[in-house]
C-alpha cells in the first residue's frame, strides 16, 4: 500500500458564475460613499513620538512592522482578526480590516525615517472584488478606507499593499528578534494616553464583574454555570469595547486550581468559590486583567476565608513593594514570603524557608499590562524581569493559592480551594496607584458588595 501524503486543503467556491451582462450591471450605478471628514484616529496625536523613538534605535535601516495575517478557523472561516500590538502601537490602527497590512519605516537620511503604511484600500466598483472576495470584499466584510481616507485617519503616507513586495529587504518585526525586543521595551512605560485607555478598560471590567454578581442566581441554576458567567462578562466586553482581552477564566470549585481554566463547562455550587479572571479590551486594544474570588453563597465559609485572608495579605505585601527603582521581582518575593509563612503557620510546610511553597502557588505574582495582557513579553530580561520599575509602568499583582483536590500534603478541608486576587496598578512617583480599586478586595467588602448587587 502506498503512503498517503496529506495535501493542503483546497478552497471550493460555491458561487454561481457571473455572466458579462451581470458583471456590467453589478459594476454600475453606485453612489459615492466617502467616510466622514473627521475620521482622525484617537491615537494619531501620540503615534509620531512613538515612531520617532523606534527610528532613533535603528538609524539608516528599513524597518517593517506587519499587522499580521488572517488565520483559518475552519475551512473557509477565519478567526476574528486583531492586529499585532506593535503595529497598533505605532499606527493607531486596531480594526479587523488591517490583516495583511504593514508599516514601513523607510530611511530618510542617516538619522530619520519616513513612515509609510502599505494597505489594501477599498475595492473599486469597476472590478468584482467588492462582491466576490469573501475575505476582503466590501459586501462580505464591510467597507475599508481608500488611500486618501487612510492618510487622513493616520497622518501617514499610504501606499497600495501590492507595492510592498517591490521593497528591498529590511528588518522585519515578525522575524527579527532584536527589532521585536526593542518594540516591546519601548512599550514598557506608558504615556498618559495609554494610561487613560487602561483605566477605561479597568472601568468597563469593573462593570462586567458587577454584571456577573447580578447574574449568579441564574448561573447557579444552569448546568453549565461557568459558561453562563463567561457569557455575561463577554456581553459587557463586546458592548463596551473590542471584546475580552484574553479568554475568560470562570472557575468554580476545584477548577480554580487550574491556572488557565478556560473550558468553563462546569456547574456552580453555592457551597464553593468562583474564581473569575477577566478583562475588557477597549476599541484601542488596551486590556484590563482583574481576578476576584467570590463565595457563591454570598458568604465565605471559615476555611474559605482562611485561605482568602492569606492571599489578600500576600497581595498587600506585594503592592507595598511597588515603587520606582524597586526590582521588578521584589513584589513577587514579598508576596511569596507571606504565603510561605502562612503555610508554615498552618502546618502545611515545616518551615517558610526554601521554595517548597511553590507547590501551592505555581507561578509568578504579576506581569506588565497594556496592549497585551502579558505585555512586552519579547523584552529582554535585563529590561523587564531583571530590571527595575519605572514611573508610568502598569502591571498586575496577583498572588494565588491553588490547593489541589488530590494533594495529600494538605488537610482534607483545604483541598480543592483555589484563590487568586489580582489588581492593576500604575507606578507613580510615590509608589503605585490602584487602578482597579473600585472592586472590593477584603472579605467583608466582597460580601457586602455581593449582597447589595443581588438584593431583590
Number of H helices, E strands in the chain: 14, 17
Half-sphere exposure for 379 (CA within 13 Å, toward CB): 21
User: What is the per-residue pLDDT for 3?
Assistant: 43
> Taking the mean position of all CA atoms in its chain, how far away is CA 286?
7
**Residue ranges, the chain, pLDDT below 50:** 1-11
With beta carbons less than 8 A apart as the criterion, state whether 364 and 340 touch: no
For 391, other C-beta atoms within 10 Å of its C-beta total 15
Comparing CA positions, the residue from 32, 43, 33, 67 lying closest to residue 153 is 43
3-state helix, strand, coil in the chain (%, to 5): 35, 15, 45
Q: How far apart are the first and last CA of the chain?
A: 71
User: What is the per-residue pLDDT for 133?
Assistant: 92
User: What is the per-residue pLDDT for 163?
Assistant: 97
Comparing CA positions, the residue from 99, 281, 262 lying closest to residue 203 is 281
Where does 190-299 show beta strands of DSSP type E? 243-244, 249-252, 273-278, 280-281, 290-295
Cell of 410: 494538605
User: What is the per-residue pLDDT for 404?
Assistant: 98
Beta strand 417-420 with 102-107 is: unpaired
Greatest pairwise CA separation for the chain in angstroms: 85
User: Which residues make beta-bridge pairs with 63?
Assistant: 105, 171
With beta carbons less than 8 A apart as the criterion, state whether 308 and 419 touch: yes
User: What is the per-residue pLDDT for 109?
Assistant: 85
For 429, other C-beta atoms within 10 Å of its C-beta total 8
Where does 132-220 show beta strands of DSSP type E? 157-160, 171-172
User: What is the per-residue pLDDT for 7?
Assistant: 39
Q: Distance between CA atoms of 198 and 245, rounded to whole angstroms? A: 11
User: Which residues make beta-bridge pairs with 277?
Assistant: 249, 291
User: What is the per-residue pLDDT for 14?
Assistant: 60
For 196, other C-beta atoms within 10 Å of its C-beta total 15
For 120, other C-beta atoms within 10 Å of its C-beta total 17
For 219, other C-beta atoms within 10 Å of its C-beta total 24
Amino acid at each position: 500500500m502506498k503512503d498517503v501524503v496529506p495535501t493542503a486543503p483546497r478552497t471550493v467556491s460555491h458561487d454561481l458564475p457571473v455572466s458579462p451582462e451581470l458583471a456590467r450591471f453589478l459594476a454600475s450605478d453606485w453612489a459615492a460613499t466617502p467616510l466622514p471628514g473627521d475620521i482622525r484616529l484617537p491615537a494619531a496625536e501620540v503615534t509620531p513620538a512613538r515612531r520617532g523613538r523606534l527610528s532613533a534605535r535603528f538609524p539608516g535601516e528599513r524597518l517593517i512592522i506587519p499587522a499580521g495575517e488572517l488565520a483559518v478557523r475552519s475551512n473557509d472561516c477565519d478567526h476574528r482578526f486583531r492586529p499585532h500590538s506593535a503595529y497598533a502601537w505605532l499606527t493607531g490602527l486596531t480594526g479587523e480590516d488591517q490583516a495583511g497590512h504593514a508599516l514601513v519605516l523607510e530611511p530618510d537620511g542617516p538619522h530619520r525615517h519616513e513612515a509609510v503604511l502599505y494597505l489594501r484600500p477599498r475595492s473599486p466598483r469597476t472590478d468584482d472584488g467588492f462582491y466576490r472576495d469573501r475575505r476582503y470584499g466590501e459586501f462580505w466584510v464591510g467597507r475599508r478606507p481608500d488611500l486618501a481616507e487612510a492618510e487622513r485617519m493616520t497622518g501617514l503616507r499610504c501606499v497600495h499593499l501590492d507595492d510592498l513586495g517591490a521593497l528591498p529587504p529590511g528588518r522585519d518585526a515578525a522575524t527579527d528578534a532584536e527589532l521585536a525586543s526593542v518594540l516591546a521595551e519601548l512599550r514598557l512605560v506608558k504615556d498618559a494616553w495609554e494610561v487613560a485607555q487602561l483605566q477605561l478598560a479597568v472601568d468597563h471590567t469593573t462593570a462586567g464583574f458587577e454584571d456577573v454578581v447580578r447574574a449568579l442566581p441564574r448561573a447557579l441554576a444552569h448546568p453549565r454555570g461557568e459558561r453562563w458567567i463567561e457569557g455575561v462578562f463577554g456581553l459587557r466586553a463586546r458592548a463596551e469595547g473590542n471584546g475580552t482581552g484574553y479568554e475568560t477564566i470562570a472557575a468554580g470549585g476545584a477548577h480554580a486550581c487550574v491556572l488557565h481554566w478556560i473550558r468553563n463547562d462546569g456547574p456552580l455550587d453555592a457551597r464553593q468559590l468562583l474564581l473569575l479572571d477577566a478583562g475588557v479590551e477597549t476599541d484601542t486594544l488596551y486590556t484590563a486583567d482583574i481576578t476576584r474570588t467570590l463565595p457563591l453563597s454570598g458568604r465565605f465559609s471559615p476555611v474559605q476565608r482562611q485561605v482568602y485572608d492569606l492571599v489578600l495579605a500576600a497581595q498587600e505585601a506585594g503592592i507595598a513593594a511597588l515603587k520606582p527603582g524597586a526590582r521588578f521581582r521584589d513584589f513577587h518575593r514579598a508576596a511569596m514570603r507571606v504565603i510561605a509563612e502562612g503555610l508554615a503557620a498552618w502546618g502545611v510546610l515545616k518551615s517558610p524557608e526554601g521554595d517548597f511553597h511553590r507547590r501551592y502557588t505555581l507561578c509568578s505574582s504579576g506581569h506588565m499590562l497594556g496592549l497585551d495582557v502579558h505585555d512586552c513579553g519579547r523584552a529582554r530580561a535585563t529590561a523587564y524581569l531583571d530590571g527595575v520599575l519605572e514611573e508610568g509602568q502598569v502591571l498586575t499583582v496577583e498572588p494565588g493559592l491553588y490547593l489541589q483536590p488530590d494533594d495529600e500534603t494538605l488537610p482534607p478541608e483545604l483541598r480543592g480551594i483555589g484563590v487568586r486576587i489580582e489588581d492593576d496598578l500604575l507606578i507613580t512617583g510615590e509608589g503605585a496607584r490602584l487602578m482597579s480599586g473600585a472592586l472590593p478586595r477584603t472579605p467583608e467588602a466582597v460580601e457586602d458588595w455581593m449582597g447589595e448587587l443581588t438584593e431583590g
